[in-house]
Amino acid sequence: MPDDAQQINVVGASGGIGRALVVRLLDRFPKARIAATHYRGDIPFEHDRIAWQRLDIRDPGAIAAWSAHFSRVDWLLNCAGYLHGQAGGPEKNIGSLEADFLLENVRVNTLPTLLLAKHFSAPLKKSRRPVLATISARVGSIEDNHLGGWYSYRISKAALNMALKTLSIEWKHSHPRGCIAALHPGTNDTPMSKPFQAGVSPRNLFNPAYTATRLVKLLSQLDPGQSGNFWTWDGARLPW
């Protein structure tokens, strides 16, 4: 786990889960340095141990430029995600599929983690125990898909899971001290999930602060032998 002087980078730190993770990390690791990215608007809050960076994760050049500021990174956490927006929303059936919406899901939910892995490979390799983790979703599990629908989001998260699994195999050799994880945070009370909360039981709708606490605990316990798995917020393993 990060120690007093280690470097933690959080991508998508202005969203509900990302912001909660930053708050939890500040408390859990009181001397760690945190680099956090946001995309729209002002930074969520200021802190003397946070270096904020405006970043469009769909821009490969921007990710490369940001990575150049770091000689070593210990944890790289990607919390950015896309479920609905101007390009559309989750499909109920194949007749609702739109190419632009599918591609936007892939641009935000899948490709950035690969670009982050590419450009932060060297800084992560210098860590004694590097962690690369991305917020995925249970709906990205092919085996667990019993309801159908949501084509674009499911496809982009399934592709993300494959990317992380494949990367974990490569990094067993190049980053043998590291751990790669796909994380399912459950349904959280955030703007992203707000339009889809009607059918969620109150006990299954989590406060992001609670989820962040559980995810940090999980990440702190992972070791290289557990790299390349898909985890729920409470530490259970999900099928791919």
* pLDDT computed for residue 22 by the predictor: 97
Angle between helices 208-221 and 16-28 (to 10 degrees): 60
* pLDDT computed for residue 208 by the predictor: 83
* pLDDT computed for residue 202 by the predictor: 65
* pLDDT computed for residue 21 by the predictor: 96
Q: Distance between CA 69 and CA 79 in Å, rounded?
A: 20
DSSP structure class, residue 237: B
Cα 99–chain centre separation: 24
* pLDDT computed for residue 193 by the predictor: 54
pTM of the predicted protein model: 0.92
DSSP structure class, residue 202: G
* pLDDT computed for residue 11 by the predictor: 98
* pLDDT computed for residue 190 by the predictor: 64
What is the residue type of 73?
V
Start-to-end CA distance of the chain, whole Å, equals 26
pLDDT along the chain (240 residues), means of 10: 76 93 96 94 90 96 98 97 88 96 97 98 97 96 94 98 98 97 80 59 71 95 96 93
| DSSP letter for each residue of 17-67 | HHHHHHHHHHHHSTT-EEEEEE-SSS-S---TTEEEEE--TT-HHHHHHHH
Tens of pLDDT along 50-84?
Answer: 999 999 999 999 999 999 999 999 999 999 999 98
Hunting for tokens 């899971």 — which residue is that?
161
Domain boundaries, the chain: 7-232
Q: Distance between CA 123 and CA 144 in Å, rounded?
A: 35
CATH 3.40.980.10 fits 7-232, yes or no: no
Token reading at 54: 């405006």
